[in-house]
């Protein structure tokens, strides 16, 4: 609604009787109101505006009936109070008009002027309250819009954060928490996608575990495996390996995805050496349980397919391909404590390690004999952090 044009409250007075129009105008102005005097219904309709706080309206007018004026003005402003000021004083007629038009009040002409002034004052106060409520409601609607927008942004932010948590949790299944958070925080959406890449794959397994578990209580078997896997996972993540899966007492790890390392072959071999050392430490109390268990490895470098493989129900981020199979076959051929690598892997680290050449190794499912290499140690006896 428009603001008031002055400090005085504007009252519209509509009456076709000039003397009545003049008398009531003077009465209202003396009371301190600004009067918008109209000599007919059409003039009232044309000059009505939102600064009018109340209308004193005659009913019986020659051009347009006050009742028609009432309906037209109410269609423009439903809230403005209209007081019928008329010579109709029959009770039944007044009741009928009130029932059908619901005016703010009905004042008979010629009655006590104070009655009209009190009625106008009541109408002004009522309309003032209505206007204040309208302003408050408008302010409330604007505030609600702001709140709705804030809630929408908050909902989007929460959704994004949940997705971030889910992405991070998903990555933490395969890589260290630090690497997972680094990948997600970088905003990259290129991780965990299907692709063909040059990677280094490592299979490890426990030699003698199956036989040992036959004489162990189930709880002891589970505890031993949990201890083993916990220690191995620490080492895997330390070197930036991606943990593909646990397979019974075996582990499949690959290097070079989702984090690309130029030295993924070196990382894989250093990891295997540290895992072998840790198993030797663990064996000291495994022996107390009658377990003669050792670990052995197969490591190969080559092009594989890496990505989410499975069904809608179960998906795994894994590696597949011929080079993966070779790594697995190497692990099956390895003896206790051996780390067997292919020539391709050795070519990446030949200046860093001491090896033992093993010729004419026949791998299951591979027709051509292989020359493979058993990694004895890193030169200088070092292991641990990559160079």
Across 87-109, average pLDDT = 78
**pLDDT band at 1, cuts 50/70/90?**
very low
Would you state the structure tokens that stand for residue 78, as one six-digit string?
A: 């439903």
- Pick the closest to residue 251 from 363, 328, 173 (CA basis): 328
Residue 251, H or E segment: strand 250-255
- Length, in residues, of the chain: 387
Residue of higher predicted confidence among 38 and 106: 38
pLDDT digits (tens, 9 = 90+) for 18-39: 999 999 999 999 999 999 999 9
Q: Find the range with the poorest average confidence among 83-92, 182-191, 229-238.
A: 182-191
CA distance 269 to 298: 10
Residue of higher predicted confidence among 285 and 59: 59
Q: What pLDDT sits at residue 128?
A: 92
Q: What pLDDT sits at residue 2?
A: 42
Would you state the structure tokens that stand for residue 163, as one six-digit string?
A: 């997705």
Q: What pLDDT sits at residue 110?
A: 82
Q: Find the range with the poorest average confidence among 101-105, 176-180, 261-265, 318-322.
A: 176-180
- Residue 293 CB-density burial (10 A; 0-12 exposed, 13-18 middle, 19+ buried): buried
The third-level CATH classification (topology) of the domain covering 193-381 is Alpha-Beta Plaits (3.30.70)
Determine if the peptide bond prior to 375 is cis (ω within 30°): no
- Pick the closest to residue 116 from 4, 34, 11, 17 (CA basis): 11
* Residues above pLDDT 90, as percent of the chain: 51
Across 194-214, average pLDDT = 88
pLDDT digits (tens, 9 = 90+) for 325-347: 999 999 999 999 999 999 999 99
| 30 and 4 Cβ atoms separated by less than 8 Å | no
Q: For the domain 10-137, what is the CATH code?
A: 3.40.50.2300
- Best-predicted range by mean pLDDT among 16-20, 190-194, 222-226? 16-20
Q: Within 13 A of 290's CA, how many CA atoms are on the CB side?
A: 10
Question: Domain extents for the chain?
Answer: 10-137, 193-381
Q: Which residues pair with 207 in a beta bridge?
A: 294
| 372 and 346 Cβ atoms separated by less than 8 Å | no
Q: What is the pTM of this model?
A: 0.57
For 135-200, what is the HEC assignment? HHHHHHHHHHHHHHHHHHHHHHHHHHHHHHHHHHHHHHCCCCHHHHHHHHHCCCCCCCCCEEEEEE
Residue identified by tokens 């080492």 is: 235
User: What is the widest separation between alpha-carbon atoms in the chain?
Assistant: 128
Is pLDDT at 297 greater than 80 in this prediction? yes
The dihedrals phi and psi of 379, each to the nearest 5 degrees, come to -60, 135
Residue 299, H or E segment: strand 294-310
SS3 assignment, position 9: coil
Average pLDDT over the chain, rounded to whole? 86
Across 278-283, average pLDDT = 91
Would you state the structure tokens that stand for residue 141, as one six-digit string?
A: 């609607």
Q: Find the range with the poorest average confidence among 151-165, 193-207, 326-340.
A: 151-165
Q: What pLDDT sits at residue 213?
A: 77
Would you state the structure tokens that stand for residue 98, as one six-digit string?
A: 């009130």
**pLDDT band at 90, cuts 50/70/90?**
low
| 235 and 281 Cβ atoms separated by less than 8 Å | no
Q: Find the range with the poorest average confidence among 17-21, 62-66, 88-92, 203-207.
A: 88-92
Is pLDDT at 56 greater than 70 in this prediction? yes
Residue identified by tokens 């309250």 is: 129
* Beta strands at 82-86 and 52-57: parallel, antiparallel or unpaired: parallel
**pLDDT band at 279, cuts 50/70/90?**
very high
Question: Identical fold at 10-137 and 193-381?
Answer: no
pLDDT digits (tens, 9 = 90+) for 313-323: 666 778 999 99
CA distance 4 to 13: 17
């Amino acid at each position: 609604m428009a603001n008031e044009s002055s400090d005085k409250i504007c009252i519209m007075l509509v009456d076709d009787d000039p003397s009545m129009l003049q008398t009531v105008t003077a009465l209202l102005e003396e009371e301190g109101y600004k009067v918008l005097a109209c000599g007919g219904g059409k003039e009232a309709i044309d000059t009505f505006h939102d600064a009018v706080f109340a209308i004193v309206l005659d009913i019986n007018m020659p051009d347009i009936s006050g009742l028609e004026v009432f309906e037209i003005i109410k269609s423009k402003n439903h809230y403005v109070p209209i007081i019928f000021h008329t010579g109709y004083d029959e009770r039944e007629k007044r009741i009928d008009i009130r029932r059908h038009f619901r005016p703010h009040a009905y004042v008979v002409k010629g009655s006590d002027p104070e009655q009209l002034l009190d009625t106008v004052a009541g109408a002004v106060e009522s309309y003032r309250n209505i206007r204040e409520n309208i302003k408050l409601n408008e302010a409330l609607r604007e505030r609600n819009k702001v709140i709705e927008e804030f809630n929408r942004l908050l909902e989007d932010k929460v959704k994004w954060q949940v997705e971030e948590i889910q992405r991070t949790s998903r990555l933490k299944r395969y890589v260290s928490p630090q690497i997972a958070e680094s990948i997600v925080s970088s905003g990259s959406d290129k991780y965990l996608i299907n692709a063909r890449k040059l990677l280094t794959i490592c299979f490890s397994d426990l030699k003698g575990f199956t036989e040992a578990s036959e004489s162990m209580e189930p709880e002891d078997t589970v505890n031993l495996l949990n201890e083993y896997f916990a220690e191995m996972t620490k080492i895997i993540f330390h070197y930036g390996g991606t943990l593909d899966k646990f397979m019974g007492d075996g582990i499949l790890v690959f290097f070079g995805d989702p984090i690309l390392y130029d030295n993924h072959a070196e990382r894989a071999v250093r990891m295997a050496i540290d895992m072998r050392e840790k198993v030797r430490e663990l064996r000291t109390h495994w022996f107390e349980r009658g377990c003669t268990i050792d670990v052995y490895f197969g490591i190969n470098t080559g092009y594989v397919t890496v990505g989410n493989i499975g069904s809608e129900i179960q998906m795994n981020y894994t590696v597949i391909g011929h080079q993966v199979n070779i790594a697995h076959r190497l692990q099956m051929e390895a003896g206790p404590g051996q780390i067997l690598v292919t020539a391709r892997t050795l070519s990446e680290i030949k200046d860093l390690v001491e090896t033992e050449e093993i010729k004419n190794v026949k791998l299951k499912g591979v027709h051509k004999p292989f020359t493979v290499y058993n990694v004895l140690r890193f030169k200088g006896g070092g292991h641990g952090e990559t160079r």
